Amino acid sequence: MSAFDRVSRQWNDWAKADPLWAILRYKEYKGGAWPIDEFFASGKRETERTWTTLEKLHGVVNVTDVLDFGCGVGRLTQSWAGYAAHVVGIDIAPPMIEQANAFNTAPNVEFVLNKRADLQVFADGSFDLVNASIVLQHMPRTLSCQYLAEFARVLRRGGFLVFTTPTEYAPTLKGRAYRHTPRPLINAWKRLRDGGVMEMHPLPLSTLAPFLTAQGFRIDLLDRSRAAGSAWVGYRVYATRR
């Protein structure tokens, strides 16, 4: 099975089993217990923070077309509707897209299923901003780098890329435990605890920074982020398409 097919199957399974918890894994909300309003409010807060940071970096910011890559059920996609004329959420898992459509209340948002390792569904220069929150970390590096290259293609010159990624294990107890425990053992424990595995793949800064530059991005800010959990050092990366 290819890495793409494996990732696709994992997310299809998560999306059927417990989609909101698969997206934001707060242990108190496991088993379909996420309060919907709080779930979507968390997306609104995250997008507000992202927007404020973009304004600090660039002054007045105007975006018309936004792509939310790995949109899940539209937690962030819907919140981007307040900042842009047209927002597209794209996801690999059919049940995520079905639920995103069911939850959606914004007229300028659409959701697209993309079961491909590229973004050929979009023409070059289709977007002013690409957002990818807590997505790229769940796929092998070859695949995440393919998508990063596609982000450069579908962004207009001067467009913004914002994404989160873990870069290395954290020097925490959990980080050390993950680093030193054989992967099959970790996966067996995750299956027992959660009923499945959600792969984690860091993108080390030593690989990521030159790769982004080679794709035509300028890195504007590496903002420390805890989005991947306490086992990881991670960043929200802000970059501009040159």
Ligand X SMILES: C[S@@+](CC[C@H](N)C(=O)[O-])C[C@H]1O[C@@H](n2cnc3c(N)ncnc32)[C@H](O)[C@@H]1O
Residues in contact with ligand X by the rule CB under 6 A: 7, 11, 23, 70-72, 75-76, 90-93, 96, 114, 133-135, 138-139
Judged by CB, which is closer to ligand X: 87, or 139? 139
Judged by CB, which is closer to ligand X: 116, or 213? 116
Amino acid present at 181: T
Judged by CB, which is closer to ligand X: 53, or 114? 114
Judged by CB, which is closer to ligand X: 36, or 173? 36
Q: How far is the CB of 24 from ligand X (least distance, A)?
A: 7
Judged by CB, which is closer to ligand X: 34, or 169? 34
Q: How far is the CB of 113 from ligand X (least distance, A)?
A: 9
Which residues are CB-neighbours of 140 under 8 A, at least 6 positions away? 3, 7, 199, 201
Beta-carbon-side half-sphere exposure of residue 108 (alpha carbons within 13 Å): 13
Q: How far is the CB of 212 from ligand X (least distance, A)?
A: 18
Please report where in the chains the tokens 């890495």 appear, as a residue: 3
Judged by CB, which is closer to ligand X: 13, or 168? 13
DSSP 28: G
Q: Can you count the helices (H) and strands (E) in the chain?
A: 9, 7
Count the Cβ atoms, other than its own, within 10 Å of residue 62.
9
Q: How far is the CB of 91 from ligand X (least distance, A)?
A: 4
Q: How far is the CB of 60 from ligand X (least distance, A)?
A: 26
Q: How far is the CB of 120 from ligand X (least distance, A)?
A: 13
Residue 160, exposed/middle/buried by CB under 10 A (0-12, 13-18, 19+)?
buried
Assess contact for 71 and 87: CB atoms under 8 A.
no
Please name which of 222, 224, 214 lies closest in space to residue 239, comparing C-alpha atoms. 222
